[in-house]
Amino acid sequence: MLELQRTIERPVSISGIGLHTGTSCNMTFKPASENYGIRFVRVDLGGRPEIAAIADNVVDVSRGTTIGIGEAKVHTVEHVLAAVVGLQIDNIIIELEGIEPPVGDGSSMPYVEQLLAAGFVQQEAPKDYLIIDETVTHHDEEHQIDIVALPLDGYRATVMVDYQNPALGSQHTGLFDLEKEFVTEFAPARTFCFLSEVEHLANVGLIKGGDIDNAVVIVDRNSDAKELEQLRNKLGIKEKVVIGKNGILNNKELRFKNEPVRHKLLDLLGDLALIGAPIKAQILAARPGHRANVEFAKQIRKLYQQKKLVKKFQFVKKEGVVFDINAIQRILPHRYPFLLVDKIIHLELDKKVIGVKSVSVNEPFFQGHFPGQPIMPGVLIIEAMAQTGGILLLNAFPNPEQKLVLFMQINNAKFRKPVVPGDQMYMEIEMTNKKSKVVMMTGKTYVNDVLVAEAEFMAAIADRESEIKK
């Protein structure tokens, strides 16, 4: 795999109609600077809005992957993204004069050909690989979908599909080397659907640009000449439509014996581009689809963001520690004698954090609470939980060192056992709701697995500078 970032050498364009919207579009690939990423730009809209190709910007997954910000949207981005990541391009501007990229022949090959013609430029910045160092899984029981990422010093993907349909059957495929296999073995694989789906998709307006030249239609039911003629008229197909003897509408030849599952792998590559960084991992997927792919991409992106934040504040990696006291001081504004969390041992962005506080007899509050019988004040246990929760919240927003967590409410606070010198508090804080800049959390503190305190918090995120000026 490449070690340095790359972009394309010169602009290239492609025109045509979109598969789902049926609208015409001119799309231009342009070089981009280091660390720019992959961004779509709607040049046909006022202000030329940019939409970064990240999972946070996905707004729809009904039949394809649509990204958007506000009113600006781009439909069916997965085939374009597959071409970009399949060619290991890190930085690129994708300008569109329309709402959906041209469908071409229903594969990624038209985009790949243009990008290869544009040529590549090696940049100086290293690639920002996300290295998967532990197993990550996504399971959808209802649709029997499983996607797993396993540690690997490289990038591989294996996909299996089983539609329990005799027209397609079970198929599997695997990509083991992007440079050697992507262009020839996967980029040409075309999108497909079943004949039984086509009429419904046409009725709900999801394949306005579809025809038998940009999609493989698999025959899974008998249809008479009248039904096929109605279908031809509905889709605006000029040539006659017939049931193919090979199980494909109009006897279209497959490019590969297992072309459908290869296209599923192509879709997976494109959707996983929404992680926002190249990854080193082995991906195993059973019966994947856009919804599951995007959910998995969101899950992996959270891991990517978390690793970046940890690197930003934790300079020295320590076994079993996410943030040590030096990192905590880079994040929180609190100092002696009011810094009440020593280390963070677990962090899941937007979900859960676990902090540790070792309680020493040297704590200044023991002098007066109480002489001869030192007990940690309950209000300071609450404060220790609040500071731990503050780390969870601040890492959910950009530039946490520039923010303050201001607590608005503390509800249902309960103190179960006293905390005394020599105890080590484990504070588990979970986010229960997040709206704009107001967040709800629950917190529990344990000593030796015994619950000693709990509370519910409501907090607001504010800019540190503006609050100091007040």
The residues that bridge with 279 in the sheet, in sequence order, are 130
Write down the catalytic residue from 172, 334, 346, 369.
369
Pairing of strands 24-31, 343-348: unpaired
Give the SS3 label for residue 379. Answer: helix
Q: Concatenated DSSP letters for 231-299?
A: HHHHHT--S-----TTSBGGGPPPSSTTHHHHHHHHHHHHHHGGGSS-EEEEEEEES--HHHHHHHHHH
Closest CA to 102 of 4, 20, 46, 181: 20
> Contact at 8 Å (CB) between 83 and 115?
yes
What's the rounded Cα separation, in Å, for the pair 427 and 357?
8
Which of 356, 446, 441, 357 has the alpha carbon at shortest distance from 394?
Answer: 441
- Say if residues 369 and 325 touch (Cβ distance below 8 Å): no
Among 20, 138, 290, 334, which one carries the catalytic annotation? 290
346 assigned to active site: no
- Is 369 a residue of the active site? yes
Amino acid identity, position 63: R
Residue with tokens 């997976």: 268
Residue 444 has a CB neighbour count (10 Å cut-off) of 17
Asked if residue 280 lies in contact with residue 131, where contact means CB atoms within 8 angstroms, the answer is yes
Report CA-CA distances (Å) from 182 to 257, 286, 364, 378: 17, 20, 64, 60
What are the catalytic residues?
A: 290, 369
